[in-house]
Amino acid sequence: MIYIITVNFNDAINLKRTIASVRKYKNDYQRFIVIDGASTDDSLKIIQSNLDVIDDYLSEPDRGIYDAMNKVSYFNLHDSDFLIWINAGDELIDWKSIIDCNFLIKYDAAFYSVIAKTKPEQSGKIKIPYIYKPYDEKNFFPKSQYYHQGFIISYRFFKMNLYDTNIGIQAENLLMSKTIIYGCIYSSPEPLSIYYLGGISNTNYKNVIKSYFNVAKALDFNMTKFYLYKRRFILKLFILRMLPQFILEKLKDKLYE
Protein backbone atom coordinates (compact mmCIF):
# COMPACT_ATOMS: atom_id res chain seq x y z
CA MET A 1 0.00 0.00 0.00
CA ILE A 2 1.16 3.54 -0.77
CA TYR A 3 0.06 6.23 1.68
CA ILE A 4 -0.33 9.74 0.29
CA ILE A 5 0.35 12.15 3.16
CA THR A 6 -0.80 15.76 2.95
CA VAL A 7 0.35 18.19 5.63
CA ASN A 8 -1.65 21.40 6.04
CA PHE A 9 -1.88 24.47 8.25
CA ASN A 10 -4.36 27.27 7.57
CA ASP A 11 -4.22 26.65 3.82
CA ALA A 12 -7.82 25.68 3.07
CA ILE A 13 -7.88 26.88 -0.54
CA ASN A 14 -4.79 24.91 -1.55
CA LEU A 15 -5.84 21.91 0.53
CA LYS A 16 -9.06 21.77 -1.49
CA ARG A 17 -7.04 21.60 -4.73
CA THR A 18 -4.89 18.75 -3.44
CA ILE A 19 -7.89 16.75 -2.23
CA ALA A 20 -9.61 17.25 -5.60
CA SER A 21 -6.58 15.79 -7.39
CA VAL A 22 -6.46 12.78 -5.07
CA ARG A 23 -10.19 12.23 -5.60
CA LYS A 24 -9.60 12.21 -9.35
CA TYR A 25 -6.67 9.79 -9.42
CA LYS A 26 -6.65 7.73 -6.21
CA ASN A 27 -6.69 4.00 -6.90
CA ASP A 28 -7.00 0.73 -5.01
CA TYR A 29 -3.39 0.52 -3.80
CA GLN A 30 -3.37 4.06 -2.39
CA ARG A 31 -4.54 5.42 0.95
CA PHE A 32 -4.87 9.12 1.78
CA ILE A 33 -4.02 10.72 5.15
CA VAL A 34 -4.27 14.44 5.97
CA ILE A 35 -2.28 15.82 8.90
CA ASP A 36 -3.48 19.26 9.95
CA GLY A 37 -1.78 21.55 12.44
CA ALA A 38 -4.97 22.61 14.27
CA SER A 39 -5.89 25.12 11.57
CA THR A 40 -8.20 28.00 12.44
CA ASP A 41 -9.49 28.55 8.89
CA ASP A 42 -11.90 26.23 7.01
CA SER A 43 -9.37 23.40 6.66
CA LEU A 44 -11.02 21.07 9.17
CA LYS A 45 -14.43 21.54 7.56
CA ILE A 46 -12.93 20.69 4.17
CA ILE A 47 -11.26 17.58 5.61
CA GLN A 48 -14.45 16.37 7.28
CA SER A 49 -16.51 16.95 4.14
CA ASN A 50 -14.14 14.76 2.10
CA LEU A 51 -13.89 11.69 4.32
CA ASP A 52 -15.10 9.53 1.45
CA VAL A 53 -11.67 10.01 -0.16
CA ILE A 54 -9.60 10.75 2.98
CA ASP A 55 -8.91 7.47 4.78
CA ASP A 56 -7.71 9.04 8.03
CA TYR A 57 -6.76 12.42 9.42
CA LEU A 58 -5.30 14.18 12.43
CA SER A 59 -5.73 17.79 13.52
CA GLU A 60 -3.59 18.99 16.43
CA PRO A 61 -0.85 21.57 17.09
CA ASP A 62 2.65 20.73 15.87
CA ARG A 63 6.15 22.21 16.02
CA GLY A 64 6.47 22.85 12.31
CA ILE A 65 6.11 21.07 8.99
CA TYR A 66 8.60 18.25 9.65
CA ASP A 67 7.13 17.50 13.07
CA ALA A 68 3.77 17.24 11.27
CA MET A 69 5.24 14.98 8.58
CA ASN A 70 6.67 12.67 11.26
CA LYS A 71 3.17 12.19 12.68
CA VAL A 72 2.45 9.62 9.99
CA SER A 73 4.04 7.27 12.54
CA TYR A 74 0.90 7.76 14.70
CA PHE A 75 -1.14 5.71 12.23
CA ASN A 76 -1.32 1.94 11.96
CA LEU A 77 1.07 1.35 9.05
CA HIS A 78 3.10 -1.74 8.20
CA ASP A 79 6.74 -2.17 7.23
CA SER A 80 5.68 -3.19 3.72
CA ASP A 81 3.80 0.10 3.17
CA PHE A 82 5.23 3.12 1.34
CA LEU A 83 4.83 6.87 1.89
CA ILE A 84 4.76 9.95 -0.32
CA TRP A 85 4.21 13.52 0.94
CA ILE A 86 2.13 15.72 -1.35
CA ASN A 87 1.54 18.94 0.54
CA ALA A 88 -1.43 21.27 0.42
CA GLY A 89 -1.48 22.97 -2.97
CA ASP A 90 0.42 20.28 -4.86
CA GLU A 91 -1.49 17.80 -7.00
CA LEU A 92 -1.51 14.07 -7.55
CA ILE A 93 -1.52 12.83 -11.15
CA ASP A 94 -2.39 9.42 -12.59
CA TRP A 95 -0.06 6.66 -11.34
CA LYS A 96 -1.95 3.63 -12.59
CA SER A 97 0.39 2.74 -15.45
CA ILE A 98 3.54 3.90 -13.63
CA ILE A 99 3.86 2.08 -10.31
CA ASP A 100 3.90 -1.64 -9.71
CA CYS A 101 3.80 -2.24 -5.94
CA ASN A 102 5.25 -5.73 -6.36
CA PHE A 103 8.27 -4.12 -8.03
CA LEU A 104 8.52 -1.25 -5.56
CA ILE A 105 8.69 -3.57 -2.54
CA LYS A 106 12.25 -4.49 -3.51
CA TYR A 107 13.46 -0.98 -2.69
CA ASP A 108 13.82 1.28 0.35
CA ALA A 109 12.90 4.36 -1.69
CA ALA A 110 12.11 5.48 -5.21
CA PHE A 111 12.66 8.83 -6.92
CA TYR A 112 10.21 9.91 -9.62
CA SER A 113 9.85 13.09 -11.66
CA VAL A 114 7.55 15.99 -10.82
CA ILE A 115 5.91 18.64 -12.98
CA ALA A 116 6.95 22.05 -11.63
CA LYS A 117 4.69 25.09 -11.95
CA THR A 118 4.12 28.44 -10.29
CA LYS A 119 0.48 28.75 -11.42
CA PRO A 120 -2.22 26.15 -12.32
CA GLU A 121 -2.67 27.52 -15.85
CA GLN A 122 0.98 26.92 -16.77
CA SER A 123 2.07 23.84 -18.70
CA GLY A 124 5.02 23.51 -16.33
CA LYS A 125 8.31 21.67 -16.73
CA ILE A 126 9.18 18.07 -15.93
CA LYS A 127 11.90 17.82 -13.31
CA ILE A 128 13.67 14.45 -13.64
CA PRO A 129 15.63 12.98 -10.71
CA TYR A 130 19.37 12.59 -11.31
CA ILE A 131 21.45 10.86 -8.65
CA TYR A 132 25.21 10.64 -9.05
CA LYS A 133 27.45 8.25 -7.14
CA PRO A 134 29.56 8.19 -5.13
CA TYR A 135 27.13 10.42 -3.32
CA ASP A 136 29.67 12.68 -1.68
CA GLU A 137 30.60 16.36 -1.31
CA LYS A 138 30.87 16.69 -5.09
CA ASN A 139 27.72 14.79 -6.10
CA PHE A 140 25.42 16.06 -3.35
CA PHE A 141 22.49 18.30 -4.28
CA PRO A 142 22.23 20.29 -6.56
CA LYS A 143 24.42 18.13 -8.82
CA SER A 144 22.14 15.28 -7.82
CA GLN A 145 18.52 16.41 -8.21
CA TYR A 146 15.43 15.03 -6.46
CA TYR A 147 12.04 16.30 -5.30
CA HIS A 148 10.02 15.22 -2.29
CA GLN A 149 6.72 15.28 -4.23
CA GLY A 150 8.20 12.49 -6.37
CA PHE A 151 9.87 10.66 -3.47
CA ILE A 152 8.40 7.40 -2.20
CA ILE A 153 9.95 5.79 0.89
CA SER A 154 9.22 2.51 2.63
CA TYR A 155 7.67 2.90 6.05
CA ARG A 156 10.27 0.46 7.40
CA PHE A 157 13.13 2.76 6.36
CA PHE A 158 11.28 5.94 7.34
CA LYS A 159 10.50 4.98 10.91
CA MET A 160 14.23 4.43 11.49
CA ASN A 161 15.10 7.77 9.85
CA LEU A 162 12.42 10.30 10.76
CA TYR A 163 12.70 13.89 9.58
CA ASP A 164 15.27 15.64 11.77
CA THR A 165 13.38 18.72 13.01
CA ASN A 166 16.65 20.39 14.06
CA ILE A 167 17.99 20.54 10.48
CA GLY A 168 15.67 23.29 9.28
CA ILE A 169 14.07 23.81 5.88
CA GLN A 170 16.13 21.12 4.14
CA ALA A 171 15.30 18.23 6.48
CA GLU A 172 13.69 16.52 3.47
CA ASN A 173 17.07 16.75 1.70
CA LEU A 174 18.69 14.91 4.61
CA LEU A 175 16.10 12.11 4.57
CA MET A 176 16.40 11.62 0.81
CA SER A 177 20.20 11.69 1.07
CA LYS A 178 20.10 8.96 3.71
CA THR A 179 18.12 6.69 1.38
CA ILE A 180 20.72 7.29 -1.35
CA ILE A 181 23.67 6.54 0.94
CA TYR A 182 22.29 3.76 3.10
CA GLY A 183 19.31 2.33 1.21
CA CYS A 184 18.44 0.51 -1.98
CA ILE A 185 16.85 3.02 -4.36
CA TYR A 186 15.13 3.17 -7.72
CA SER A 187 14.88 6.17 -10.07
CA SER A 188 12.33 6.84 -12.83
CA PRO A 189 11.66 9.72 -15.27
CA GLU A 190 7.90 9.23 -14.93
CA PRO A 191 6.13 12.09 -13.05
CA LEU A 192 3.94 11.45 -10.01
CA SER A 193 2.72 14.90 -9.05
CA ILE A 194 2.46 18.58 -9.86
CA TYR A 195 4.68 20.67 -7.63
CA TYR A 196 3.96 24.36 -7.16
CA LEU A 197 6.99 26.52 -6.45
CA GLY A 198 6.65 29.25 -3.88
CA GLY A 199 6.97 27.35 -0.60
CA ILE A 200 9.36 28.40 2.14
CA SER A 201 12.32 26.62 0.53
CA ASN A 202 11.79 28.74 -2.58
CA THR A 203 11.54 32.08 -0.76
CA ASN A 204 13.47 32.04 2.52
CA TYR A 205 16.98 31.72 1.12
CA LYS A 206 18.69 32.78 4.35
CA ASN A 207 17.32 29.72 6.15
CA VAL A 208 17.90 27.53 3.08
CA ILE A 209 21.63 28.33 3.19
CA LYS A 210 21.85 27.61 6.93
CA SER A 211 19.92 24.35 6.60
CA TYR A 212 21.97 23.30 3.54
CA PHE A 213 25.11 23.37 5.68
CA ASN A 214 23.30 21.52 8.48
CA VAL A 215 22.50 18.66 6.08
CA ALA A 216 26.12 18.44 4.92
CA LYS A 217 27.33 18.28 8.52
CA ALA A 218 24.74 15.64 9.43
CA LEU A 219 26.05 13.52 6.53
CA ASP A 220 29.60 13.88 7.90
CA PHE A 221 30.84 15.56 4.75
CA ASN A 222 34.25 17.21 4.72
CA MET A 223 33.11 20.83 4.97
CA THR A 224 36.17 22.26 3.22
CA LYS A 225 35.59 19.99 0.21
CA PHE A 226 31.88 20.67 0.42
CA TYR A 227 32.34 24.42 0.20
CA LEU A 228 34.84 24.15 -2.67
CA TYR A 229 32.49 21.98 -4.73
CA LYS A 230 29.34 23.97 -3.89
CA ARG A 231 30.71 27.52 -3.83
CA ARG A 232 28.84 28.53 -7.02
CA PHE A 233 25.55 27.17 -5.74
CA ILE A 234 26.01 28.83 -2.34
CA LEU A 235 26.85 32.13 -4.06
CA LYS A 236 23.68 31.77 -6.16
CA LEU A 237 21.63 31.35 -2.96
CA PHE A 238 23.21 34.46 -1.45
CA ILE A 239 22.33 36.45 -4.58
CA LEU A 240 18.75 35.16 -4.56
CA ARG A 241 18.52 36.14 -0.90
CA MET A 242 19.25 39.75 -1.87
CA LEU A 243 16.62 40.00 -4.64
CA PRO A 244 13.19 41.52 -3.84
CA GLN A 245 10.38 39.00 -3.67
CA PHE A 246 8.43 40.46 -6.62
CA ILE A 247 11.46 40.02 -8.89
CA LEU A 248 11.88 36.39 -7.80
CA GLU A 249 8.22 35.71 -8.55
CA LYS A 250 8.49 37.23 -12.03
CA LEU A 251 11.59 35.19 -12.81
CA LYS A 252 9.90 31.96 -11.72
CA ASP A 253 6.71 32.69 -13.66
CA LYS A 254 8.74 33.30 -16.82
CA LEU A 255 10.71 30.10 -16.35
CA TYR A 256 7.69 27.80 -15.93
CA GLU A 257 5.10 29.38 -18.22
What is the Cα–Cα distance from 194 to 179, expressed in whole angstroms? 23
Question: Which structural domains are found in the chain, ordered by start?
Answer: 2-256 (3.90.550.10)
Burial code (b: 16+ CB inside 10 Å, e: under 16) for 123-161 equals ebeebbbebeeebebeebbeebebbbbbbbbbbebbeee
Residue 207 neighbours by CB under 8 Å, 6+ apart: 168, 169, 200
Mean pLDDT of 165-191: 95
**How far is C-alpha 206 from the geometric centre of its chain's CA atoms?**
20
- 243 pLDDT above the threshold of 60: no
Average pLDDT for residues 176-195, to the nearest whole number?
95
pLDDT tens for residues 89-118? 999 999 878 888 889 999 999 999 999 988
Quick check: 72 pLDDT over 70? yes
Q: For residue 151, what is the enclosing H or E element? A: strand 151-154
- Tens digit of pLDDT for each residue in 119-168? 888 888 999 999 999 999 999 999 999 999 999 999 999 999 999 999 99
The dihedral sign for the CA sequence 82, 172, 45, 57: positive
